[in-house]
Structure 1
């Protein structure tokens, strides 16, 4: 019975990772195709989006580089989402030791991104 629970957790986590990678690859390919067809990034000169807000703005305006950057952001967020899903799965399993460990990892990931943004 315990092996079935572990297998179910592993399957859930692997599905989340697969979905994230496929989604980000699809978005990147769409942006790359747009760039190859138009030959333009959608931005003037050597300016490119440097914040999440600018990237999403470029996505909404169908700028090829903004779309590519959105795909890259999705790829970066996928493992973080996986850790969040793991916390939920472990809570449902009532495995509180792993909830604490995974929550600690989640906090460290969020803090590292926040510190990288500041620094």
Structure 2
């Protein structure tokens, strides 16, 4: 197998994973919208909404529409992060140390920004 064919295979695999991530997140968001219309509300009293991950996942288990939609949006945001992680793996396989370092720094920045960010 030549190098161009291997690169095309990697690009196809990455695009497949991105497509799967977008489809899954869209399905979760659509489920949340359906629940919103069926239940007629967010699933939370008044103007209260979950603001941390444990509350969001508890709401997901209880099928509260707002929590389901929020999880779908989180999956959509995390999809490109998966692309960065896959890129690290690809660069490791290719033995490209410079791009492994650069892409790892980008992934660390993304993770830190998510950890420090406020909803």
TM-score over 0.5 for the alignment? Answer: yes
Residue 36 (structure 2) pairs with residue 38 (structure 1): no
Aligned to 1:56: 57
Aligned to 1:99: 100
In 1, the alpha carbon distance for the partners of 2:103 and 2:91 equals 9
In 2, the alpha carbon distance for the partners of 1:6 and 1:97 equals 18
- Equivalences for 1:1-119 in 2 at 5 Å? 1-117=2-118
Tell me the alpha carbon deviations over residues 6-52 of structure 1, each in whole angstroms, 9 at most, x when there is no partner.
21221121111111100000000001001111202110110011112
**Residue segments in structure 1 that go unaligned for 5+ positions in a row:** none
Query: If the length of structure 2 is used for normalisation, what is the TM-score?
Result: 0.90
Please, what is the CA RMSD of the aligned residues? Answer: 1.6
Q: Give the total of aligned pairs.
A: 118
Tell me the alpha carbon deviations over residues 47-82 of structure 1, each in whole angstroms, 9 at most, x when there is no partner.
011112211110011111110101001011111111
In 2, the alpha carbon distance for the partners of 1:9 and 1:108 equals 24
Query: If the length of structure 1 is used for normalisation, what is the TM-score?
Result: 0.90
In 1, the alpha carbon distance for the partners of 2:77 and 2:13 equals 19
Deviation of 1:98 (Å): 1.8
What SS is found at the alignment partner of 1:41?
A: coil
